[in-house]
Amino acid sequence: METNAANTDTDASAPTSPDAGVPAASALERRVDLSVAIADLDKEVDQRLKRLGKNMKMPGFRPGKVPTHIIRQQYGDQARQEALSETLGNQLSEAVTTQKLRVAGSPKIEAKDSGSTTHIEFAAVFEVFPEIKLNDLANLELERPVLEVGPAEVDGTIEILRKQRVRYEPVDRAAANGDRVSIDFLGKKDGVPFQGGQGQDYQFVLGEGKMLPDFEKAVIGSSPGESKSFEMTFPAEYFSKELAGQTVTFDITAKEVGEAVLPEVDADFAKALGVADGDLVKMRAEIDANLRREVKKRLQTKITGQVMDSLLAAHPVDVPGALVDKEIERLTQLARQDMEQRGMKVKDVPMQREWFVDQATRRVGLGLVLAEIVKQHELQAKPAQVRAMVEEAAQSYEHPEEVIRWYYAQPERLGDFESAAIEANVVDWVLAGVKVSDKPVAFDELMGQAS
């Protein structure tokens, strides 16, 4: 079949075509002109219909003896569409290969009105991957956070674990910060109760920030059985537009005041943490080991963030819109799954594309830069490296060997570890070639970061 494919690029040296001079939507957009001879297309359609007729069964006719005009009537449009699609696909593939284009996303085929009586003209419009030139990072300066886990950090972690197991004992005194209170409350705006402004036997801990500061301030000092009224103004940025910046009145009655009681660090406490025999030495050793793994993970996360930010700053890159759109879809799906796991009704929360544009653009750009670094410097994940990561992650489980077997039972389960290994390789490669200074980080600051 006679075909023709000419590239119409955004470059000034591109061949002349009916679309020449039309600016591309982006620096990465390319156009390839496609031309299909009508006579050759008709021949291909005839051949397809003949092949179809050889085995066609239809009431009133013997198998393979259905008249050609009936076959064409029923399947002619389908055969023509399939033949045209295959021809254009082959043509585009040949042009892309010849011109060494790396297509990003799916090409869009547009019909062109050329006025020809012998050919059908089309244009394939698509984006290509950007060419990435790796820059010298020798002058880059990074601060690597460091923290040595010792007895003080173990003690701090034990205190956190104690607070997580706090219980509250009723006391007959005025409520203070750190107490858990149980109250009845009723809010009124202009003397009328408003939606969401009432509760009975409602419990919260003073000082944890669950309630608005002015509300907590009014509750502090209340004793069991005491009632009071107070005015409060909602913040101007309050999520409810009806209440934002409005002054309301609350009537509250304190039902109970509970004083926090932390568990003693004894055998029972150790058992509650999974140390079967209640040995405090074993407990501290396990906390120390877990803490070291967590600190290592968080330190790595912080330095990795610095490295990735630096790589993006050093390699500004145009990103294909098709890849950004695909990443937005992925991030949207992840957000929906996260909301569902939190018990939220996803259908009630409209997802806005704009929420994910910046994150998706960053992830795509960074992915392109990382892929080039990995390719040029052969930083692919090694099996032994992946194995070490799996084994380390498994140590936080009761039966590590079972966890390891589970991951290796199906190779696709190792995907996250392989990605993490590649990322770690890139970070090590960058750190080996830039100026790095160690910067001590406080334990509380580090552990306050999301892992």
**Domain-wise residue ranges, the chain:** 3-128, 141-152+269-447, 167-261
25 pLDDT above the threshold of 70: no
Report whether 4 contacts 118 (CB < 8 A). Answer: no
Report whether 28 contacts 127 (CB < 8 A). Answer: yes
Token pair recorded at residue 415:
């995907």
pLDDT band at residue 23, thresholds of 50, 70 and 90? very low
**Rg of the chain's alpha carbons, rounded to an integer?**
34
pTM: 0.69
343 pLDDT above the threshold of 90: no
Q: How far is CA 421 from CA 154, 238, 265, 387, 393, in A?
A: 29, 43, 39, 10, 13
Q: What is the DSSP letter of 317?
A: -
17 pLDDT above the threshold of 60: no
Q: How far is CA 86 from CA 8, 81, 93, 105, 124, in A?
A: 21, 9, 10, 18, 14
Superfamily, domain 3-128: Trigger factor ribosome-binding domain (3.30.70.1050)
Question: What pLDDT, on a 0 to 100 scale, did the predictor assign at position 450?
Answer: 40
Q: How many residues does the chain have?
A: 451
Higher local confidence (pLDDT), 62 or 154:
154
2 pLDDT above the threshold of 70: no
CATH of domain 141-152+269-447: 1.10.3120.10
How far apart, in whole angstroms, are the C-alpha atoms of residue 19 and residue 123?
Answer: 9
22 pLDDT above the threshold of 80: no
- The second-level CATH assignment, the architecture, of 167-261 is Roll (3.10)
Question: What pLDDT, on a 0 to 100 scale, did the predictor assign at position 63?
Answer: 79
